[in-house]
Amino acid sequence: MAKRTPKHGTRKTLIGSISVFLVIIFAGFLLVTNMRVNRMTTVSSDAAELVENRVKQADRLQQEVNELSAQVGALSAQEDSRKSTASENAGSSTMLPAVEGPGITVTLNDSSMWQSVADTAGSSVDWDKYVVHQQDVESVVNALWAGGAESMEVMGQRLLPTSAVICSGNVLLLQGKKYSPPFTISAIGPPALMKYALDNSQAVQIYKQYVGAFGLGYEVKDEERLEFAGTPLLLQPLQYARVDE
């Protein structure tokens, strides 16, 4: 007589095998997921440490550059044996040397008349007529250079060959810093010639018309002695265009 195997036993064995197989797949999935998470955490940690090290290295190199620039500037100043007043010429140095001498200071300021006008006109006021603009500062700077200015500062910052005066609203941006009015432009040079250049500048004459009509500020002051400190010739690294490969 043949031995019979119960069907229920076969079904239980098949279900058990499938269950074990599913458990193995699920365990493998958890293992792979855990490895991925650990790998991402390690990479993220390594990237943060790498960035921090790069920043520290860049700061250290920048400090060395500043120290070397100061040394080169000091040696160049000794070699040139400059006197009391000097033109804006750095020669082969990476520093503009300190200079001093007579000159003038020009101050430009926003108008306070807009407050009384706003009370009567409200939102219809043309605000641009009551504030100093970029072209106003540039007009004074250009006139002073034309009048023989040998060195110049705007808001206490030395003007460099790469300097750009930019205004955003009534805020002046110069070499990474922001300034609010009044704006001061000081120049070392022949005071009489520089004032003559200001008086004969067409752009400055237009600004003076707004001074009379809308109350903008304009003041020219003689300076017996101005002193400008030595300044690195390059406050920001130069960037060059590259050809796409």
SS percent in the chain: helix, strand, coil, step 5: 50, 20, 30
Give mean pLDDT, residues 124-143.
86
Q: What mean pLDDT is predicted for residues 177-181?
A: 89
User: Confidence class of residue 123 from pLDDT cuts 50, 70 and 90?
Assistant: low
Q: Which of 70-74, 82-86, 119-123 has the lowest mean pLDDT?
A: 82-86
Q: CA 139, CA 193: separation in Å to the nearest integer?
A: 16
| 5: its two tokens | 């195997």
Q: What pLDDT does 238 receive?
A: 45
Q: What is the pLDDT of residue 120?
A: 59
Say if CB 230 and CB 95 are below 8 A apart.
yes
According to the model, what pLDDT value does residue 236 have? Answer: 47
Where residue 194 falls among pLDDT bands split at 50, 70, 90? very high
Residue 204: is its pLDDT beyond 70?
Answer: yes
The CA-based angle 100-105-107, given to 5 degrees, is 150
- pLDDT tens, residue by residue, 26-79: 666 666 566 665 555 554 455 667 767 776 776 776 677 667 766 666 666 555
At residue 19, the pLDDT reads 63
Residue 231, pLDDT score: 80
Residue 230 confidence (pLDDT)? 85
| 3-state DSSP assignment of residue 103 | strand
Q: How many CB atoms lie within 10 A of CB 192?
A: 12
Q: Name the band, by pLDDT with cuts 50, 70 and 90, for residue 8.
A: very low
Mean per-residue pLDDT of the chain? 75
Closest CA to 150 of 214, 78, 98: 98
pTM of the model: 0.57
